[in-house]
Structure 1
Amino acid sequence: MKTFDQLSVIGLREWINLPDLGMVGLRAKIDTGASTSTLHASDIQPFERDGVGWVRFTAHFGTVVQRRHRCEAPLVTVKTIKSSNGHTQSRYVIRTLLMLGDRQWPVEFTLACRKTMRYRVLLGSKALVTGQLVVNPALTYVQDKPQLPSASGAQ
């Protein structure tokens, strides 16, 4: 059996922060079947700032108490996503800093309505590769909650 010492182990679910968006304490579901990560968002509005494409949106997080947070981020691209049932959808893509355990790195997220889903954030395989992570699906919340000063503007 091969081992990979440089890779950190995470569970099927982990606590994350998105500090550039001012969001802390998000529960993320790890989805190795998805290439790109996804963040639950509504009221998505593209706009320009200094000739650069940006997107403004309301991010939703929390399970027992639903919280909303208004965010702005540079627009990376618009991507066509094909779901497991074959349905295609165009989604805005942003890149933002992700904190998981004691690591942080930039991750691309598509913005999509996930209100009927249990987890508001999915971490896809590209984020796992970049973060040099391996998943043990028998475990959950392996890494400590990332520490950050409390987020301002969360409701």
Structure 2
Amino acid sequence: MDSEDKGEVTYLINDVSRRVALSQKRIREYEKGGLIKPAREPRTNNRRYSEADINQIQRIKELIHAHGFTVACLRFFLASAPCWVIFNCNGKEVCASYSDFRIPCYEVAKHATHHSGIKDCESCPIYLNRDVKTMPLLLKP
């Protein structure tokens, strides 16, 4: 565990691995699959995980291991559903993206005074998967 210049505490992958009970290899697979994007140390290029990253990993682990999502299925889900659904957001009622779920949360956040996303949008799995081709989840009969 270290503190970055911004004062935010970050963790190396071995610390995160123990904390979330996943192998380092699995955490790297989540990154390769576009589900997480940890910061990198400029000097060493080591991955640095914030508390928000760890929360994302825990939720992704739950969706994959407890609910049977595959990485590909989860990527489609991330591109199709609002962030407050995927991450069980507690502050969704005051979040600008909650009022109009048809607009992607990362688009709303650009113009909102309050956005309760898990962290900055460019590191959010929903933003990372914004180019995944989607279609309506339910079609009319």
- Which band: TM-score by shorter chain? under 0.3
**TM norm structure 1:** 0.22
The structure in which a higher percent of residues are strand is: 1
